[in-house]
Structure 1
Amino acid sequence: MSHTKLIRMTVDRTVEAEPGVGPDIEAWRRSVAGVLAKSRRVSPDELGERPEDLLAIRTEDGVTIRPLYTSADDVPEQPLPGQFPFTRGGDPLRDVNRGWSVMARFGVNERDPEAVNESILAALESGTSALWLAVGGDNLPVEAIDRALKGVLLDLAPLTLDAGDQAGAAANAVLALLDARAREGDGVTDRSRVSIGLGAAPLTTLFANNYSPLGDTAKLRSVDLPGAVRLAATAVNREETIRALMVDATVFHDAGSSDAQEIGAACAAGVEYVEAMLEAGLSIDHALGQIEFRFAATDDQFQSTAKFRAARQVWARVADVLGARDAGAAPQHAVTSSAMMTQRDPWVNMLRTTVAAFGAGVGGADTVTVLPFDAALPAGALGVADSFSQRIARNTQLLLIEESNLGRVLDPAGGSWYVEKLTSDLAHAAWAVLQSIDGAGGFSATVESGWLCGKIEEVRAHRETEISRRKIKLTGVNEFPDSAEKPLPVGPDGTVPDRLAAGRVFRYAEPFEKLRNRSDLHLADNGSRPTVFLAPLGPLAEHNIRTTFIANLLGSGGIEAVNPGAVESSGLADAARQSGTRVAVICGTDKRYAQEAPDAVRALREAGMTSVMLAGPQSAYPDENTDVSPDAYLGAGIDAVAALAELLDTLGVR
């Protein structure tokens, strides 16, 4: 047989299934039941008809994620991009050679327009394709906008303003610039190709000023709602494509909201904007055309993809209820989550933002901003220039678009049983949030009464508990910490300053990072970190699992583990005395505990250990030896933040 025929037969047999042969779901379920029954030490018959349900998880929004999706989950194909409900995207003509727009922010804490202009032009030459310009206050002065945008072709690079209470003045400056260029002939024959977002955000600013998870902060300044509506009335009469109102949903995410809460609250704010514009005399189509959304993208890849698709569904439904279903395709700006950024092992943030940008891009976001990986740290804390972290952030997206070719396909996740089901479930959950806000009085009323803040606080508190118990994993923070990491510049208040929205971002890693900050201060004061002695029982093969678990746990609180390795029981006390610490954790198997743990507790206390703990649950310790019980039990699922804080107190760490 020739090589060609052999290859053809191999390929044919690979891609073609035999007639009548399909997946045997019942056989798979029997296999699942067999594995679960063994691990749970029960009979497979005791697990029910759907044993896979034991592997399902529920999200913060109550959405069930199953371990397997099949053709039974198939749904009718969604309409094409540009068609209601815009699940697959609002733009039917998006350039697949360009993909989404790569947006970077400029003008933050920079008042020199020439320096801003230099940064913008350099970024545009290096792959940035959309601009986010911070104006007013400590940022670029309004009167310098024209100089900052010198040489920028606004028909090629969409512009979004962030001007706070100077939104009106900034808008006038940009519109005057556009008119001046038109008079002078800047080469733009179709002014509708110019896309400007004026960024007026009074309602989401209202929320940010009424809720701060980390304490009192300075109030944000914003144009008021009537002023924002006046900007919208001006924008609808322009030849360019101008949207006056930004629903910045990242403020909900930063405060700790779930995805459904973020979408639902954003759409509730959008509804209030539309109502205000209708009262001012704008048509429903013009009013809907003045709104765009900004959402957070996280490192939960599929959740982010479904989130952007679901958000378009929900807003399209709002437009449908208002009688203008074809006008419900509002642009979406994705910003990688500030809340997920860490100060510890911040290099991992490069991976987090890559996954987040992937999820947002695949989910159909029109523009994406990737935060620099060191955004949660003071400038220069890692010894790298801002230009480096900004270049990495930009190139993250360029790799996804140019090398991975993600932008070449519209809605690549469409048709996936899992993604379609997750999108639908999330959209329904978000719609329920929108209805509950409406039923409680509407967006502004629920913010001012504290009702919406309270609902988000419930989710935030639950997530914090899950993080503290290490059920939510944060790589480099509460899992796999780098014990040799360089200390950070901890301030007198025990915190490390960051460049995010200070006081308005509930960063997931912060509870553990506060513990690490205490360790850094101890290192500075004493020349060494706090330490705990690991007391291994039995050979390495027996104790390795728990010594590794405890070393990982202690490291997440900035505590070093002194592990002597396998030692004879008779030598345990001597090893403890030589460890230089007065706290010990016994590590071994449950079987070994039954034989040796009580004697080990006695020996360690006689050796001077003031606190002796056991790796594992209390049930692992023999009941008949409660007279010499350990002082604490360190097992999976404990409140690690509380346990580590208490341990640092025991070790005398301020």
Structure 2
Amino acid sequence: MTDPLKLASEFPSADYAAWRTLAEEALKGASFEKKLVTKTLDGFALQPLYTKGDQDADTRLIHDVLSASVEPRETVTGWDIRQLHTHPDPIVTNAAILDDLENGATSILLKLDAAARKGREISSGEVGVDGIAIHCLADLECTLSDVYTDLATIALDGGAAAIPAAAMLAARMTDEDGASEAAPAFNIDPIGTLASTGTLPCSTDDALRQTANITAELIDLFPMGTAISVNGAPYYNAGATDGQELACLLASGVAYLRALTDTGMAVDQAAGAMVFNVAIGTDFFAGIAKLRALRLMWTRILAASGAEDASISINAVSAEMAMSKVDPWVNMLRTTVTSFAAGLGGADSVVCLPYDHLIGLPDGFTRRIARNTQLILQEESNVHRVIDPAGGAWFIENMTRDLAKAAWAKFQSLEASGGIVAALANGGLKKDIEAVWHTREERVANRRDPLTGVSEFPNIAEAKVTCDAPDLDTIQANGKARQTKYTETVGATLSSLMEAARKGATIGHMYTDLYGTSAATTVPALTPHRLSEPYETLRKRADGYKAKTGTFPQIFLANLGKVAQHTARAMFARNFFEAGGIEAITNTGFADAKSVAKAFTASGAKIAVICGSDPQYGDMAADVASALKNAGASLVYLAGHPGDARAEYEAAGIDDFIYVGTDVPDTCRTAMDHLSGARGDK
């Protein structure tokens, strides 16, 4: 029977060559490579179109390798929804944990305060700063009261004091029923600590050896758990490319694998004792490819090491580098992207950061939004129902392969130069990452990489997000009251540390007995960054200006002609300056220079930007600039590239030009300096 719906059969068949010809015709002489091919920071190219012809032997194998490393049951249960907790009060944190677990979270991440992470006592001035004030077993009991640790994974962020913290949690959990079925994530990570803080309390060799010995004991107690975190977040949040982060993850993983097998642990057991922590940014497809590439490369390393089980455990977390303090509501969209990419990339657990994470302590609402982001992805979107859902997509397969190749080359370079620790110690890795950060910073400054709500579509009048400010003095006093006096010397084994914790030893006490009080290893620490940093600085400065004067710093839009003639560049100028916190005073346009000058004087502004079309500039720009200067404008901009008319415009009084590719923060900083000087602040 003939199909009455011919549809595509009536059209001629298409091929890449025909499409390429049409694309080049549409470009009207512009370079195909420059306009349509994207060069990644890792050096490989992303094509605008992929076809079946882009498949090769390598890409055909990727999906099969990755599918073999995934348990089918994971498509039923979904990934682990992990909630971060940082409120300094253990009692408040406990209520929040119970609320999270009752409403969809399946595990929790406890970040200890700055004092505990550095092995200091409750008398330290950093108690309750940037984490929970857990310093003794009684504090941990308060935090985990009524939490079934055999059902919900408890993950730790203990910093340099990860081993004392792990011993404390192990002591708490082994005193409960079902401990052998529990799957805690102790997250001991001396290499990650060294990278992020620049210090370790002992030599790196001793740190790796001690980590391996403690891991062997922990895995004996908790065979379902993990002891070591291989953390890539410090590198990515310092500006590293996806390939650099992957290389650092592989190099760190290999260092831990060697240390564990040196203790006599089997390769499979050693690999199973580790979890990889990966930061996911807002490049959706890159996030998927990054996790797929990691799984692919680690499978190769395990196979070369003689492991029979090639599986890998991955925890993905929203990258702080991609989040913003400015217009933080947009962070909800950013973390949706990071969580979605993590789920499709095959993460075993995902930490979706609350949208106000950078501002202060999240409340029940912001935690619920973060939690529900993942619940919707799982229960309504069913993202987890397919093993390797990106498999077979020509673009993703090629991106996975190219990223894996780039990362593998960087990993080999790290290994050839002595490994990850040597690269941190000599400062070479930090220098390489800083070079990438400067590139990222430049791309954000000229808006080649736009940030919604920050560099694009800013809202300087937005309502500020406020967070809870806890009483740290009271929290510290309550913590001291929970402590009991313990004066014995603590041994270096896990069992002795656990016994000391049960008797009242604090994290600070255990840390001091293990390491002393001075840093034994010091390297150049990686500096964390956020893409929105320069804009946040300007917006904060603008808020200070408003607090002193009652208004934001302002710029007058000298719009020329009818709305249709100036609106494009007026909107460009408004977004440009308001991204830096400078309020744009707008209008419907002016017919001549005299009316522009009159309106400028009435506005009370000190600086102006001329906005119109190129033909209007040829007829009016010079006259308008002169009129504005005569009316008292101390700084005049023109929206658009001046081209050959630059000298003429400058002679008429135009001081600077804003156009696509201009450094927004630098220009706004100059304008702000000028306004502050005019006000007498300088």
Is the pair's TM-score, using the shorter chain for normalization, greater than 0.5?
Answer: yes
Residue number in structure 2 paired with 1:540: 563
Between 1 and 2, higher relative CO (CA 8 Å, sep ≥ 6) is seen in 2
Deviation by residue 1:486-544 (Cα, 9 ceiling, x = unmatched): 35789xxxxxxxxxxx9953111010111111110010000011111111223221211
What are the within-5 Å matches in structure 2 for residues 63-102 of structure 1? Answer: 63-75=44-56, 85=65, 87-88=66-67, 90-102=69-81
Distance 2:564 2:155 in 1: 59
Deviation at 1:178, TM superposition (A): 4.5
- Asked if the contact 1:540–1:566 (Cα under 8 Å) also holds between the matched residues in 2, the reply is yes
TM-score w.r.t. the length of structure 2 is 0.82
The correspondence for 2:448, drawn from 458, 471, 484, is 471
Q: Is 1:444 matched up with 2:468?
A: no
Deviation at 1:122, TM superposition (A): 2.3
164-173 vs 554-563, which moves further: 164-173
- Asked if the contact 2:90–2:143 (Cα under 8 Å) also holds between the matched residues in 1, the reply is no
The correspondence for 1:171, drawn from 166, 173, 188, is 166
Deviation at 1:146, TM superposition (A): 4.8
Change over 3 Å in CA distance of 1:279–1:533 after alignment to 2: same
- Asked if the contact 2:430–2:526 (Cα under 8 Å) also holds between the matched residues in 1, the reply is no
Distance 1:80 1:472 in 2: 30
Change over 3 Å in CA distance of 1:547–1:400 after alignment to 2: same
Distance 1:622 1:247 in 2: 54
Residue number in structure 1 paired with 2:186: 198
Residue number in structure 2 paired with 1:579: 603
What are the within-5 Å matches in structure 2 for residues 5-44 of structure 1? Answer: 13=6, 17-18=8-9, 22-37=13-28, 42=29
Change over 3 Å in CA distance of 1:180–1:455 after alignment to 2: same
Q: Is 1:365 matched up with 2:388?
A: no
Which runs of 5 or more structure 1 residues have no equivalent in the other structure? 212-217, 380-384, 491-501
The correspondence for 2:176, drawn from 159, 175, 181, is 181
Change over 3 Å in CA distance of 1:162–1:651 after alignment to 2: same
Residue number in structure 2 paired with 1:376: 358
Residue number in structure 2 paired with 1:283: 266
Distance 2:373 2:136 in 1: 31
What amino acid is the match of 2:105? T
User: Matched residue of 2:604: which SS?
Assistant: coil
Change over 3 Å in CA distance of 1:302–1:641 after alignment to 2: same
Change over 3 Å in CA distance of 1:516–1:315 after alignment to 2: same
- Asked if the contact 1:255–1:504 (Cα under 8 Å) also holds between the matched residues in 2, the reply is yes
The correspondence for 1:461, drawn from 431, 434, 438, is 438
The correspondence for 1:340, drawn from 310, 322, 332, is 322
The correspondence for 1:558, drawn from 578, 581, 588, is 581
User: Matched residue of 2:422: which SS?
Assistant: helix
User: Matched residue of 1:132: which SS?
Assistant: strand
70-79 vs 529-538, which moves further: 70-79
Deviation by residue 1:14-71 (Cα, 9 ceiling, x = unmatched): 6xx539953233332232122210xxxx4xxx85xxx366311111111211111111
- Asked if the contact 1:32–1:52 (Cα under 8 Å) also holds between the matched residues in 2, the reply is no
- Asked if the contact 1:519–1:559 (Cα under 8 Å) also holds between the matched residues in 2, the reply is yes
Residue number in structure 2 paired with 1:525: 548
Residue number in structure 2 paired with 1:299: 282
53-62 vs 407-416, which moves further: 53-62
Residue number in structure 2 paired with 1:632: 656
Distance 1:121 1:456 in 2: 40
Residue number in structure 2 paired with 1:209: 197
Change over 3 Å in CA distance of 1:468–1:239 after alignment to 2: closer
Deviation at 1:418, TM superposition (A): 0.6
Distance 1:101 1:426 in 2: 26
What are the within-5 Å matches in structure 2 for residues 582-601 of structure 1? Answer: 582-601=606-625
What amino acid is the match of 2:333? L
Change over 3 Å in CA distance of 1:434–1:625 after alignment to 2: closer
Deviation at 1:330, TM superposition (A): 2.1
Distance 2:9 2:241 in 1: 45
Deviation at 1:130, TM superposition (A): 1.8
Residue number in structure 1 paired with 2:519: none
Residue number in structure 1 paired with 2:88: 109
Deviation by residue 1:273-310 (Cα, 9 ceiling, x = unmatched): 12222333323233222221000112211110111101
Distance 1:646 1:622 in 2: 20
User: Matched residue of 1:621: which SS?
Assistant: helix
Distance 2:539 2:218 in 1: 50
- Asked if the contact 1:98–1:401 (Cα under 8 Å) also holds between the matched residues in 2, the reply is no
529-538 vs 26-35, which moves further: 26-35
Distance 2:374 2:463 in 1: 29
Deviation at 1:163, TM superposition (A): 2.4
Residue number in structure 2 paired with 1:258: 241
Distance 1:125 1:457 in 2: 43
Distance 1:568 1:221 in 2: 74
Distance 1:487 1:462 in 2: 30
Distance 2:657 2:427 in 1: 39
Residue number in structure 2 paired with 1:426: 403
Distance 1:226 1:29 in 2: 57
327-336 vs 161-170, which moves further: 161-170
Change over 3 Å in CA distance of 1:236–1:488 after alignment to 2: closer
What amino acid is the match of 1:69? Y
Deviation at 1:618, TM superposition (A): 2.7
Deviation by residue 1:232-252 (Cα, 9 ceiling, x = unmatched): 221343463232110111111
Distance 2:580 2:437 in 1: 21
Residue number in structure 2 paired with 1:506: 529
- Asked if the contact 2:235–2:526 (Cα under 8 Å) also holds between the matched residues in 1, the reply is no
Distance 2:69 2:182 in 1: 18
What amino acid is the match of 1:248? N
Deviation by residue 1:374-409 (Cα, 9 ceiling, x = unmatched): 011134xxxxx6111001000000000001111111
Distance 1:120 1:636 in 2: 47
The correspondence for 1:647, drawn from 650, 654, 671, is 671
Q: Is 1:313 matched up with 2:293?
A: no
Residue number in structure 2 paired with 1:226: 209
Distance 1:90 1:147 in 2: 39
Identical amino acids, percent of aligned pairs: 34
Distance 2:316 2:60 in 1: 22
Which runs of 5 or more structure 2 residues have no equivalent in the other structure? 117-127, 468-524
Distance 2:608 2:62 in 1: 63
Distance 1:107 1:515 in 2: 28
Distance 1:180 1:564 in 2: 71
Distance 1:283 1:517 in 2: 54
Residue number in structure 1 paired with 2:108: 131
Residue number in structure 2 paired with 1:331: 313
What amino acid is the match of 1:210? G
Deviation at 1:229, TM superposition (A): 1.1
Residue number in structure 2 paired with 1:143: 137
Deviation at 1:593, TM superposition (A): 1.3
CA RMSD, aligned part only?
3.0
Q: Is 1:244 matched up with 2:235?
A: no
Equivalences, count? 600
Distance 1:123 1:520 in 2: 35
Q: Is 1:58 matched up with 2:49?
A: no
